[in-house]
């Protein structure tokens, strides 16, 4: 029968109920305001002009009320009404921002007038910005004393072949100055028109860290694309402040999985929980097993004849051809397994916590990474379709720490899978599949010391 247009506000002003405009953050939305003058998560400077301007949906001359709270707690209140097409801006309310720090806006729009179906009835329809609580958002003001945070993301490591259709999550990190004593930082994450996250996050070892999970963002706002890879423009803002008044702030913008101009930033020290992009153990880890095949294959149990140590690129590496198996260790628990893997043809299974018929099976191939908890009835086929070129070395990191299984490739977190009932300690097991040729080098088992 084609599309039908319904009057706004779910029948409040008369006419049939066409339902809400949409649902975001678990709330039905009948009307909202889109701030365009100063946007949520903006990083401004002292002296910049604050302007409250933007459209209201539906496009009606609705009432706007907002309060602006400065870092020192002082509050300014304003109110007005949008024009006949629902756009709000009162130039007389503009003012210069005079304090560095985190500013908070609390805004409500209310329609108390006519609609296409008749006058709105009390209680009048109301709304606000598209934020987690539906009425507040924050922005940051800096001055010459504010430390500029350089935010880094693992998306910057991606090759263009993986910009589209594959990446569904991303890490964002920033390192605070030496001697920082604050325990939390403020996080704001936006996509155009919607604040996806607004919360405090813990600071660990001077580092602010946040993991974007595409599926989780989609549950908050179902127009956030993730099934075919990250696609929306995302802005991540960090703000931190000590009791002494020292402040730090920064922001980064990504276009889907692309960071074409990654900002210069101080590298954040690697930790065991996240992919490091290196095959060796970290300084704060205990090396339980190491094999670079330069002096042979001590510690390995080869169950087949298709294995050999060969020279490649000036060093010795392990070659597996055909359907062959190699095992090492038997009682490793919360560890990180790191190695270099080169696919010549076919695929390989990297089996973790392997003992008897139990194992975490990681299927690693040109077309992606997938894991299952064996036997398969436990859980099966969790993975991504990130492209791994043939005949190139890839650093693969597999860990089980605090009941979370993580798999990273070349410093990119590809899989994060919680497991409330993790497998018992076990060994590692390399399995090269039929009609495959795979090379391995620099195999390390690393135990976090903290």
In a structure prediction context, what are the per-residue pLDDT tens digits for the chain, which is 450 residues long?
Answer: 445 566 688 888 777 888 899 999 999 999 999 999 999 999 999 999 999 999 999 999 999 999 999 999 999 999 999 999 999 999 999 999 999 999 999 999 999 998 888 888 999 999 999 999 999 999 999 999 999 999 999 998 888 888 887 888 999 999 999 999 999 999 999 999 999 999 999 999 999 999 999 999 999 999 999 888 899 999 999 999 999 999 999 999 999 999 877 666 677 888 998 999 999 999 999 999 999 999 999 999 998 789 999 999 899 999 999 999 999 998 999 999 999 999 999 999 999 999 999 999 999 999 999 999 998 777 777 888 889 999 999 999 999 999 999 999 999 999 999 999 999 999 999 999 999 999 999 999 999 986
Judge contact between 229 and 168, C-beta under 8 A: yes
* Superfamily of domain 147-255, CATH level 4: Immunoglobulins (2.60.40.10)
Which among 390, 368, 171 is positioned nearest to 275, based on CA atoms? Answer: 171
Label the pairing between strands 307-312 and 315-321: antiparallel
Check residue 438 and report its DSSP letter.
Answer: E
Beta-carbon contacts of 383 under 8 Å, excluding residues fewer than 6 positions away, are 363, 368, 369, 370, 371, 414, 415
Query: Comparing 147-255 with 285-448, is the CATH topology the same?
Result: no
Q: How far is CA 263 from CA 40, 250, 327, 410, in A?
A: 21, 10, 43, 20
Q: Note the pLDDT of residue 262.
A: 66
User: How far apart are the C-alpha atoms of 282 and 53, rounded to whole Å?
Assistant: 50
Strands (E), 192-323: 194-204, 207-213, 233-241, 247-255, 285-291, 301-302, 307-312, 315-321
Q: Note the pLDDT of residue 2.
A: 46
Judge contact between 240 and 180, C-beta under 8 A: yes
The two three-digit tokens of residue 437, written as one number = 């040729």
Judge contact between 86 and 57, C-beta under 8 A: yes
Beta-carbon contacts of 216 under 8 Å, excluding residues fewer than 6 positions away, are none
Which among 425, 408, 293 is positioned nearest to 350, based on CA atoms? Answer: 408
Q: Note the pLDDT of residue 6.
A: 66
Task: For residue 351, give the 3-state DSSP assignment.
Answer: strand
Whether the upstream peptide bond of residue 123 has omega within 30° of 0, thus cis, is yes
In CATH terms, the fold of domain 9-142 is: Immunoglobulin-like (2.60.40)
Let me know the angle formed at the C-alpha of 420 by 363 and 379, rounded to the nearest 5 degrees: 35
pTM for this entry? 0.86
Judge contact between 384 and 368, C-beta under 8 A: yes
Place of tokens 């000036």: 314
The two three-digit tokens of residue 90, written as one number = 């009162």
User: How far apart are the C-alpha atoms of 298 and 434, rounded to whole Å?
Assistant: 25
Q: Structural domain boundaries of the chain?
A: 9-142, 147-255, 285-448
Q: How far is CA 289 from CA 298, 384, 399, 403, in A?
A: 10, 29, 14, 22
User: Is the domain covering 285-448 a CATH 2.60.120.560 domain?
Assistant: yes
Q: Note the pLDDT of residue 49.
A: 98
User: How far apart are the C-alpha atoms of 439 and 217, rounded to whole Å?
Assistant: 38
Q: Note the pLDDT of residue 263.
A: 65
């Amino acid at each position: 029968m084609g599309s039908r247009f319904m009057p706004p506000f779910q029948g409040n002003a008369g006419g049939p109920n066409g339902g809400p405009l949409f649902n975001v953050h678990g709330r039905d939305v009948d009307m909202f305001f889109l701030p365009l003058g100063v946007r949520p998560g903006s990083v401004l400077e002292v002296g910049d002009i604050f302007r409250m301007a933007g459209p209201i949906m539906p496009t009606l001359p609705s009432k706007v009320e907002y309060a602006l709270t400065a870092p020192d707690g002082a509050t300014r209140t304003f109110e007005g009404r949008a024009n006949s097409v629902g756009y709000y801006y009162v130039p007389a309310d503009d003012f210069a921002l005079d304090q560095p720090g985190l500013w908070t806006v609390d805004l409500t729009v209310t329609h108390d007038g006519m609609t296409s179906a008749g006058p709105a009835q009390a209680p009048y329809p109301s709304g606000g910005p598209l934020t987690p609580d539906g009425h507040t958002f924050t922005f940051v003001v800096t001055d010459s004393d504010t430390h500029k945070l350089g935010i880094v993301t693992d998306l910057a490591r991606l090759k263009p072949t993986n910009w589209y259709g594959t990446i569904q999550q991303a890490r964002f990190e920033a390192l605070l100055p030496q001697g920082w004593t604050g325990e939390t930082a403020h996080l704001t994450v936006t996509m155009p028109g919607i604040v996806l996250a607004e919360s405090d996050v813990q600071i660990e070892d001077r580092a602010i860290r946040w993991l974007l999970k595409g599926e989780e963002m989609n549950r908050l706002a179902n127009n956030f694309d993730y099934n075919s890879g990250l696609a929306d423009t995302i802005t991540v803002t960090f703000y931190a402040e000590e009791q002494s008044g020292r402040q730090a702030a920064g922001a980064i913008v990504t276009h889907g999985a692309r960071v074409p101009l990654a900002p210069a930033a101080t590298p954040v020290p690697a930790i065991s929980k996240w992919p490091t992009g290196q095959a060796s153990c970290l300084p704060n880890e205990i090396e339980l097993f190491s094999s670079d095949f330069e002096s042979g294959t001590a510690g390995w149990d080869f169950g087949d004849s298709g294995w050999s140590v060969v020279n490649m690129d000036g060093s010795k590496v392990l070659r597996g051809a055909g359907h062959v198996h190699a095992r090492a260790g038997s009682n490793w628990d919360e560890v990180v397994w790191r190695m270099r893997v080169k696919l010549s043809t076919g695929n390989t299974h990297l089996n973790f916590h392997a003992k008897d018929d139990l194992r975490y099976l990681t299927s690693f191939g040109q077309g992606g990474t997938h894991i299952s908890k064996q036997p398969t009835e436990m859980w099966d086929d969790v993975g991504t379709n990130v492209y791994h070129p043939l005949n190139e070395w890839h650093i693969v990191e597999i860990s089980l720490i605090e009941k979370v299984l993580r798999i990273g490739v070349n410093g990119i977190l590809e899989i994060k899978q919680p497991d409330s009932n993790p497998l018992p300690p076990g060994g590692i097991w390399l399995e090269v599949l039929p009609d495959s040729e795979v090379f391995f080098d620099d195999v390390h088992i690393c135990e976090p010391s903290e």
